[in-house]
Amino acid sequence: MHDKIDSPLQTSIWETAVGLRSFYKSKGFKEIRRTYMPVISVKTIIPYITANDERFVVKSMGELVKNRLLFNKLITLVKRNYEHTHLDNPVAEMEDNSWGKMITADDVILDGSFIGLDPVEKNILAYSFLHTSEKKDTAEIGWAGVHSPEANTLLRSLVFQQIKYAEKQNVQFIEGEFDTTDECAMSLLKVIPVSPCPAWITYRKE
């Protein structure tokens, strides 16, 4: 006889599935997250890009991994932010070495992933990773985050630099996933000119 597994039920549907949304709500499911996945036209967004914020130092992931101290700080910050934005779906416990391998996986574009540091290059303030895609002429914005909300403007600057990098690599489109549980992601979505798109809604029933 199997022990009873006490775990919540969770499902996700498109925002446009009105009938299913009503059904799940009637059964006691609660919305815990919305994920927006816009497709950004590089050519369209280039005119909106502003000058880089020269108050900070920007390094590519390829450069940063050569500095073990800074790379360890990046691992700590990425882990902290990821855990904070996934409180409803806690991440499994992993060693820092495993986190390091995740953020330098084969699909990460090291020269197109940028990290913003303070002027003396001792603390990491923001980061945004760029990934390859299975789609032709497309790249993906991956993990992005900040040390504190004051660095949100720096994060936007990093993303704009990624878009300029993508243009030089003849990338036509950039895709991203922006969760409502992630304040940084929502901040980015407000300043990046994208066409409206339906949300992928995640429901949960305890």
Question: Homologous superfamily of 9-205 in CATH?
Answer: Gcn5-related N-acetyltransferase (GNAT) (3.40.630.30)
pLDDT value, residue 6: 56
| Amino acid 34: pLDDT | 93
Strand partners, 180: none
Q: Phi and psi of 183, rounded to 5°?
A: -60, -35
Show the tokens assigned to 6: 């006490």
Cβ within 8 Å of residue 141, ≥6 positions away: 128, 129, 130, 131, 159, 162, 174, 175, 176
Nearest to 182 by CA among 82, 88, 109: 82
pLDDT at 113: 96
Query: Which contiguous run of DSSP H or E holds residue 139?
Result: strand 138-146
Of the candidates 82, 167, 190, 69, which has an alpha carbon nearest to the alpha carbon of residue 127? 82
- What is the side-by-side strand order in the sheet with 138-146? 39-41, 173-176, 138-146, 124-132, 114-117, 57-60
> Are the CB atoms for 161 and 114 separated by under 8 Å?
yes
133/37 Cα distance (integer angstroms): 14
- Please state, in angstroms and rounded to a whole number, the distance separating the CA atoms of residues 35 and 185: 10
Amino acid at 64: L
| 206 residues of the chain, pLDDT tens digit each | 344 445 678 899 999 999 999 999 999 999 999 999 998 889 888 887 776 777 789 999 999 999 999 999 999 999 988 887 766 666 667 787 888 888 889 999 999 999 999 888 789 999 999 999 998 899 999 889 999 888 888 998 999 899 999 999 999 999 988 889 888 888 888 878 777 889 999 999 87
- Give me the pLDDT at residue 5, please: 42
| Pairing label, strands 199-205, 9-14 | antiparallel
The pTM score is 0.84
Q: Would you state the pLDDT for residue 51?
A: 66
pLDDT of residue 87: 61
- The domain segmentation of the chain, as residue ranges, is 9-205
- For residue 146, which phi and psi values (nearest 5 degrees)? -135, 160
Q: Is 2 left (phi over 0), alpha (psi -120 to 50) or beta?
A: beta
